[in-house]
Amino acid sequence: METTENVRILVVEDNFMNKVLVKELLQVHGYGVLEASNGKEAVDMAESHHPDIILMDINLPEMDGMESTHIIKSRESTKDIPVLALTASAMKGDEEKFLKEGFDGYVPKPIQLTVLVGELERCLKKAYS
């Protein structure tokens, strides 16, 4: 993808400060941002807005990120939307666990800008190639 101006990213994060940080990082790079505060909202927004990619926190109220991702990936209308795990779980083996659970990528917290942008570009290129 050459331009980010038409790319919409759904940020699913219940922590206000984390959401503000991620939103600002994405907007500085030209991405459009949609927001959800829990897993149920994420599923609904994926269905209604069909974002280009989803950044999904794991520990969320109402429905966690794992369950939300399983639902999104099980629906015909949303199954092809790349979902990146955005999580503080950064122990050895966690990345492999999330990929095995159906996530398309992994961004550990605290967020490093180069990792975030690199994962977004990788997943978007793969999704649209």
pLDDT tens sequence across 22-62: 999 999 999 999 999 999 999 999 999 999 999 999 999 99
Residue 3 domain-assigned (yes or no):
no
Q: 94 near 66, Cβ under 8 Å?
A: no
Q: How confident is the model at residue 1 (pLDDT cuts 50, 70, 90)?
A: very low
CB atoms within 10 A of CB 125: 10
Q: Which domain does 66 fall in, by range?
A: 8-127
Q: What is the pTM of this model?
A: 0.93
- Which whole number is the average pLDDT over 65-91? 92
Residue 2 domain-assigned (yes or no):
no
Number of domains in the chain: 1
Q: Is the pLDDT of residue 2 over 90?
A: no
Q: How many angstroms separate the Cα of 116 from the Cα of each of 41, 44, 87, 112, 124?
A: 22, 24, 12, 6, 12
Residue 1 domain-assigned (yes or no):
no
CATH number for the domain that contains residue 52? 3.40.50.2300
Q: Is the pLDDT of residue 65 over 90?
A: yes
Q: How confident is the model at residue 80 (pLDDT cuts 50, 70, 90)?
A: very high
Q: Is the pLDDT of residue 87 over 90?
A: no
Q: 4 near 31, Cβ under 8 Å?
A: yes
Per-residue model confidence (pLDDT) at position 4: 72
Residue 70 domain-assigned (yes or no):
yes
